[in-house]
Amino acid sequence: MRIVFAGTPEFAATALQAIVAAGLEVVLVLTQPDRPAGRGMKLAPSPVRQLALAHRIEVAAPQSLSLHKGGEAAVAAHSRMRSLRADVLVVAAYGLILPQAVLDIPRGLPDAGCGRITALNIHGSLLPRWRGAAPVARAIEAGDTATGITIMQMEAGLDSGPMLLAEPTPILADDSAATLSARLATIGARLIVEALRQGAAGRLKALPQRAEGVTYAHKLDKHEAWLDFAVDAGVLARRVRAFDPFPAACTRRGNTTLKFWRAHASPDRVQAPPGTVIAASASGLHIACGDGTLVVTELQRPGSRRMNTADFLAGMPIAVGEVFSGPPPDPAA
């Protein structure tokens, strides 16, 4: 079996490593172009690119795979996939749209009941819940108690293809998007190897997705990071966990932006305007909300590292009665 793998972040690299370790042949890796990263904002290769190069696998990183938008790089990627005579395309958090022309290139695995399988996707939810770009974060934000991995057959629709394998996992009370993604990556890596082996033997079974229960996990945006303390503390606590590592829940203390990394909700109700600090100690920063109190136990100020509340307050004391606010005014408004 000859595999083309498309993915970009660590989630995808975990799957690629498992495929290689299983002795399956990866003939080409598609990943996003190098992006600026770190304090110096130097161009850095994606985790998938780094892993592919370490295993001496050919890599292509076009800006787009659309023949109309991607120019010569897209044309070259299409041509290379055809010349390599790949059997199947495996996709995991690639981050670019895959046009139908790309999905049609692989020769395909045996029919599983829903047509020739040319492309498999490792999706971080139990479909049809949380189709789309950010299923892990949206599941935590919504307060779901469980999620999972679905290996699906790719088609033109957004994560609407038939399901081939699935495995659930609970969402723990202290899970962030980072910790849950890591656990899902391990499950996804194991399931994709199983799916490829079953597919090669003609043993995959396809199950169309239900029409009921479809939800969409819209892409995370930086504007969502700003916490509105007028809402329920439980909602904010989930957002803090859902937005770790991106876009990072934040608030303003005067002209300084603070990022919140760990927090939980307390049912304690106080007579104070939302955003008011009602306690600040080693046990946490207690902030009044529309309903309940948000207790922040890990946070970060500009130019510093993430730290627990005790260490943070030792370097930047915060007084009871201070009020945190939302995003700075838009100068263009």
267 pLDDT more than 90:
no
Question: Do residues 251 and 275 lie in contact, with contact meaning Cβ atoms separated by under 8 Å?
Answer: yes
Containing domain of residue 164, as a range?
Answer: 2-217
Is 229 within the bounds of a domain? yes
Whether 32 and 128 map to the same domain: the answer is yes
User: Distance (Å, rounded) from C-alpha 259 to C-alpha 324?
Assistant: 12
d(CA 274, CA 236): 12
Q: Are residues 276 and 162 in the same domain?
A: no
Q: Does the model's pTM come out above 0.85?
A: yes
Q: Which residue has the higher pLDDT, 155 or 235?
A: 235
Beta strands in the chain (DSSP E): 2-7, 25-30, 35-37, 42-44, 59-60, 88-92, 119-123, 131-132, 146-153, 163-170, 216-217, 249-253, 256-266, 277-281, 284-288, 293-300, 307-308
Whether 330 shows a pLDDT value over 70: the answer reads no
Examine residue 187 and state whether it is found in any structural domain, yes or no. yes
In a shared domain, residues 107 and 248? no
Give the domain CATH number at 253: 3.10.25.10
Tell me the C-alpha distance between 93 and 19, whole Å.
15
* Rounded Cα distance, 320 and 311, in Å: 17
* Whether residue 254 is found in the same domain as residue 161: no
Question: Is 263 a residue whose pLDDT tops 70?
Answer: yes
| Residue 331, pLDDT above cutoff 60 | no
Residues 248, 151, single domain; the answer is no
State the average pLDDT for the chain: 94
Same structural domain, 150 and 260: no
Last residue of a domain, one of 217, 250, 284: 217
Residues 149 and 30 in one domain: yes
Residues 296 and 311 in one domain: yes
Are 203 and 58 in a shared domain? yes
Number of domains in the chain: 2
Task: Examine residue 290 and state whether it is found in any structural domain, yes or no.
Answer: yes
Residue 39 reports pLDDT greater than 90: no
pLDDT attached to residue 333: 44
For the segment 107-149, what is each residue's pLDDT rounded down to a tens digit? 998 876 767 899 999 999 999 999 999 999 999 999 999 999 9
- Kindly state whether residue 328 falls inside one of the protein's structural domains: no
AA letter at 158: L
With 90 as the cut, is the pLDDT of residue 35 above it?
A: no
- Is residue 327 domain-resident? no
Select from 163, 189, 217 the last residue of a domain.
217
Predicted confidence band at 37 (pLDDT cuts at 50, 70, 90)?
A: confident
Mean pLDDT of 76-89: 96
Q: Which amino acid is at 226?
A: W
Confidence of residue 43 (pLDDT cuts 50, 70, 90): confident
Residue 322 lies in a domain: no
pLDDT 10s digits, 222-252: 999 999 999 999 999 999 999 999 999 999 9
What's the pLDDT at 155? 87
Q: What's the mean pLDDT in 303-326?
A: 96
Q: What letter would DSSP give residue 295?
A: E
CATH assignment at residue 81:
3.40.50.170
Which of 173, 202, 217 marks a domain boundary? Answer: 217
| Confidence (pLDDT) at 270 | 84
Instruction: Give domain status of residue 41, yes or no.
Output: yes
Residue 245 shares a structural domain with residue 179: no
Give pLDDT tens digits for 162-218. 999 999 999 999 999 999 999 999 999 999 999 999 999 988 989 999 999 999 999
Do 196 and 255 share a structural domain?
no
Q: In the prediction, which pLDDT does 68 show?
A: 86
317 class by beta-carbon count within 10 Å (0-12 exposed, 13-18 middle, 19+ buried): exposed
- The residue behind tokens 């590292």 is 305
Beta strands in 162-225 (DSSP E): 163-170, 216-217
Could you tell me if 153 and 200 lie in one domain?
yes
- 34 domain-assigned: yes
Residue 264 reports pLDDT greater than 50: yes
